Structure 1
Amino acid sequence: MNVVLWIIAGLLAALFLGAGVLKLAQPKEKLAASGMGWTDDFSAGTIKLVAGLEVLAAVGLILPALLDIAPVLVPLAALGLVIVMVGAVVVHARRKEVPQVALNLVLLALAAVVVWGRFGPESFS
């Protein structure tokens, strides 16, 4: 189970690091033009905040456990992603973007597995 949790955390970290860096590096207008229509509904600051949270969560999923420094941060980072994904589901559902809702639900479920596993049977304590 430990290996499965590491794989899930690594996958989530890679996805959210990439998504966060993309949102941090691109202006709002370019994001909207590249298929992220939801960005039209939010300020540039809010988009950068979400991006920053995604990057922090990606780092928090891997580094604390890898360095054995405050490994309790791993399930907390995963819990943060669960919260971000709940928000994403709400935003995409309101916009009737069904494929994005489905993807967000999958990512939410994966993050929830990490929360459960790292707070429960495979904690780092």
Structure 2
Amino acid sequence: MSPQSAETEAIRRITAHLKAVYDGRRTPGQVEAAMSAAEKHFEDSRIRDFVPVLVERRARSALDAAIMAEASDHGHVDRRSSDASHDPNVTALPVTPRAATRSPATGAVLRIARPPASGS
């Protein structure tokens, strides 16, 4: 198998895998479009060994960002500051879009209560 056909086959398998992973959250056409855009980004790369992996990562990032944007538009993710953000006992940590899609309970900001400072 030529290197070009091996790359094409790897991208085809990744596309099929991502269609299954994003089933119910993205249409097959949206997955194909993300893969195509990611593949186009690397079309002039001279070293081709890692192109399929890089294409998959770029496509996943685009798909996850679209999911997060939709969740935010529908009020499922609160990106606004809340009263808790002004509480000195709460630390706000940003959560990556990919991590936020793994659990419906995770929002764009993870708030962690800090233990009270000792008075010694």
**Fold conserved (TM > 0.5)?**
no
Larger radius of gyration: 2
Q: Which has the higher strand share?
A: 2
Q: Whose helix proportion is higher, 1 or 2?
A: 1
**TM-score normalised per structure 2:** 0.33
Q: TM-score, normalised by structure 1?
A: 0.32
Point out which structure has higher relative CO (alpha carbons under 8 A, 6+ apart). Answer: 1
